[in-house]
Structure 1
Amino acid sequence: MSPAPETLFRRFTDYANRPDPYPIYAELRSHGVARQEDGSYLVGTYHEVESLLHDPRVSSDPRNRTDADELLAREGSLPRSFITQDDPEHDRLRRITNRPFGPPHSPGRIDALQGDIVRISRELIAGFGQRERIDLVEEFAYPLPVKVICGLLGVPEEDVPRVHAWTETIVNSLDLSPDVDPEPLRQTAMDARRAMATYLGELAEGRRGESTGDLLAALVNDDGPDGRLDQIELMTTAVLLMIAGHETTVNLITNGMLTLLRHPEALTRLREEPTLMPTAVEELLRFEPPVQFLPQRTPLTDIEVAGVTVPKGAPLTLVLASANRDPLRFPDADRFDPLRRDIQHLGFGGGIHICFGAALARLEAQHALTELIHTLDDDTTLAEDPPPYRRSPVLRGPRHLPVLRRVPG
């Protein structure tokens, strides 16, 4: 007897299934829309997920959920970042933040980081020395984006370990496994978020009136048509940029190397033709996306999805990783193909909430993977397969990625 569709969320968030949740995602697609034990709804087919990402009747603000009072009581009084708000407030905050970050007002800021990304990548690779065993997470995939985002925001190098500790605590709270008590994780995450917000707020305040060239200084001093962020908005936005600016990229790089080491013919092809790397990164975002699902969407009215009525206020989870493997959208969807031409993936979400830092994540992954595959020869192998995974089913990726390589001499 096959498991009930009402248990799908419980099963794919179970840590035992972290190495390979894709068979459960396939089961989800076969059901179309699946109501869960707790009254929430899962959607995992490509066209439905894409449509809902662009649907103005679907809110990103948890205050619109039927269980909003209970949810907000659990989360306390922490102010919310713009990714959990709807327009027009979301639009205002995102526009203010984007002025010093990217086009059209700051078109060169991200592009100017390419030299730093390559330099940091090579410094980290040099640190491998002559050792035969390397942990690509601890020694490369984690420190690279941390250094990049801290440099972008203007965090002093000596404070990076503190930022690392806060971020790890916050991300660990996203463990939704059924055998884990969420309350202790949630409380420590709230404390870490407050500490990080206070630290980044004070750092930004110290740059008021100063032109230091970093993003915090730009945010605190910029006078655009929408005005400035107030102190609370600045703190919550800085925390969002810090966490989202490196945690997802860690997974993108790590999942990317894991996939390439499992497909040595693709790794060799990319080493020989590095101009193919941008396309390969898009395929990696489809095949093994760093963000597996978006658990906080809420219909503002009853809506019909694939013949199922999802009631107003019901928690709605959009399973991006399942949509990216939908065979009705992608031929041979479970096959990694670095030369795939049609890759309109949902790895960065979509709609008004599409990933704010997508351009930076792409750039980091392209350069990081290029540098790695030119360092690791064809004799490099995975020391463990599957490797040990992180607890979070949302930000899914290996916690460690040990590899074995041949060292000359």
Structure 2
Amino acid sequence: MTPATLLRQITDYASRANPYPLYAELRKTPVARQENGVYTVSTYWEIAGLLQDPRVSSDMRSRAPQAACGPLAEPEEDTILPPSFIGLDPPEHDRLRGLAMRSFGPPHTPRRIHDMRAELTRMVSGLIDDFQGRGQADIVDDLAYPFPVMVICKLLGVPHQDEARFHVWADAVVAGLETEPAEEAGARQRAAQQARLELGRYLAGLIEERRRAPGDDMLSAMAAGHGPAERLSPVELVTTAILLLIAGHETTVNLIANGMLTLLRHPDVLKRLREEPGLAVPLVEELLRYEPPVQLIPQRTALTDIDIGGTTIPKGAPIWLVVASGNRDPRRFPDPDRFDPERRDNQHLGFGSGVHYCFGAPLARLEAQIALAEIARRLGDPRLVDDPPPYRRNPVLRGPRHLQVAFDGLTV
């Protein structure tokens, strides 16, 4: 095993259940050029620095042509739709993100997420009610997936009954991030582009409906704008809506599923959470460090030569920031492989950092806190059926595909 081959082993599905020993090996060379030309950055301070560094681009169009040979390389043809703001750099990123944020959170709508707490609790409670009389549930299919989907549909103004339609498109878009088998990467990316186009057409139709009959939702607010100078173009509206719909549930599914798996492996903490619901707040922060739903940030490019960690990353080179490795860096976190909900100074990288800090972090935190606290409170003697459970194939968005849990009845 060499630093140049570790990424291939990390992204191999065989490592999905426990990539952390490979991350420890990767940290021995904080910045390493992989065999496919990607530069991996695996230690906390180096990742944190590059997340804040304006010399690092999120726009795939910044990548040198000779570097576009990695597993996540863009196809030679132009994308069908332009990137959303997550794939852009300032100042264009800042303009689009700022316009989207006006209808989501501070300073323009500061109470939108806070005021959803009671409704979110009712959603989770209703999903758990459906476990009654079963004795076993799949935490992913029965709660961790449907709950965030219900929430983002409510926020955006997307009919929840259309879930079966957009689920297929969202899965195809996310599959475009998969790396194995490498020979199928081009086909996956083409399928992802086509799915993104179809999802865009669907959302464009909803946006037009909201223009004619506005509601109290984000699509209506974004479509209305705030005057000619503060309005998203039709294409910008669509690409932003695609991003919010997919990102608004994909990572939270993993956060809740990884969280329940971790609690079942730490029954003492699960018992404490049942007795102390307030523990959910620091517990979710530790989960974001210990088992982050986003393990890698792959789509970064050096805009100039960057000297970091004893290595020079050349201009135009692709960079992968291995945030899950940085979150277990012993130089930053004492005893990093221990799950400790009371960990102090827990400045994890679970939501990234810098201008691309996770747009939906407040909502994801609240959803996970409510879901895990309610599961802990209501399931009697929950226990894992399979450990490790089967995982999703995606190495970037890592989490169980299913999480079968047996239990002895429900409390009210």
**One fold, TM greater than 0.5?**
yes
Q: Give the deviation of 1:207 after TM superposition.
A: 1.3
Q: Indicate yes or no: 2:80 matched with 1:82.
A: no
Distance 1:384 1:74 in 2: 43
Q: Give the deviation of 1:38 after TM superposition.
A: 1.3
Distance 2:93 2:74 in 1: 20
Q: Give the deviation of 1:173 after TM superposition.
A: 2.4
Q: Give the deviation of 1:172 after TM superposition.
A: 2.2
Corresponding residue for 1:406?
408
Matches within 5 A, 1:9-408: 9-67=7-65, 71-73=74-76, 76-178=79-181, 181-223=184-226, 226-377=229-380, 379-407=381-409
Contact 1:92 1:226 in 2 (8 A): no
Distance 1:177 1:211 in 2: 43
Distance 2:178 2:229 in 1: 37
Displaced runs of 4 or more, over 4 A: none
Q: Secondary structure at the match of 1:6?
A: coil
Amino acid at match of 1:88: P
Contact 2:139 2:405 in 1 (8 A): yes
Distance 1:149 1:40 in 2: 34
The unaligned stretches of length 5 or more in structure 2 are: none
Contact 1:10 1:177 in 2 (8 A): no
Contact 2:132 2:409 in 1 (8 A): no
Contact 1:63 1:72 in 2 (8 A): no
Contact 1:75 1:186 in 2 (8 A): no
Distance 2:164 2:17 in 1: 28
Q: Secondary structure at the match of 1:5?
A: coil
Farther-moved stretch of structure 1 (204-213 vs 104-113): 204-213
Amino acid at match of 1:131: R
Change (3 A) 1:155 1:308: same
Contact 1:10 1:178 in 2 (8 A): no
Farther-moved stretch of structure 1 (219-228 vs 37-46): 219-228
Residues 136-177 of structure 1: per-residue CA shift (max 9 Å, x gap): 000000000000001111111321221222112222222112
Aligned-residue sequence identity (percent) comes to 57
Change (3 A) 1:137 1:74: farther
The unaligned stretches of length 5 or more in structure 1 are: none
Distance 1:284 1:192 in 2: 31
Distance 1:375 1:75 in 2: 50
Q: Secondary structure at the match of 2:298?
A: strand
Q: Give the deviation of 1:63 after TM superposition.
A: 0.8
Contact 1:13 1:177 in 2 (8 A): yes
Distance 2:116 2:347 in 1: 26
Q: Secondary structure at the match of 1:296?
A: strand
Distance 1:180 1:252 in 2: 30
Contact 1:153 1:215 in 2 (8 A): yes
Residues 370-396 of structure 1: per-residue CA shift (max 9 Å, x gap): 11111122x321100000000100000
Contact 1:36 1:42 in 2 (8 A): yes
Contact 1:124 1:140 in 2 (8 A): yes
Farther-moved stretch of structure 1 (210-219 vs 231-240): 210-219
Q: Secondary structure at the match of 1:71?
A: coil
Amino acid at match of 1:82: F
TM-score where L is the length of structure 2: 0.95
Q: Secondary structure at the match of 1:246?
A: helix
Distance 1:14 1:180 in 2: 13
Q: Give the deviation of 1:222 after TM superposition.
A: 2.1
Change (3 A) 1:380 1:292: same
Contact 1:14 1:177 in 2 (8 A): yes
Q: Give the deviation of 1:72 after TM superposition.
A: 4.6
Q: Secondary structure at the match of 2:300?
A: strand
Q: Give the deviation of 1:77 after TM superposition.
A: 2.9
Q: Give the deviation of 1:74 after TM superposition.
A: 5.3
Amino acid at match of 2:387: D
Amino acid at match of 2:296: F
Contact 1:96 1:224 in 2 (8 A): no
Q: Give the deviation of 1:406 after TM superposition.
A: 1.9
Amino acid at match of 2:390: P
Q: Give the deviation of 1:226 after TM superposition.
A: 4.5
Distance 1:88 1:149 in 2: 27
Residues 7-40 of structure 1: per-residue CA shift (max 9 Å, x gap): 1111100000000000111111111111001111
Farther-moved stretch of structure 1 (190-199 vs 156-165): 156-165
Distance 1:19 1:102 in 2: 35
Amino acid at match of 1:66: A
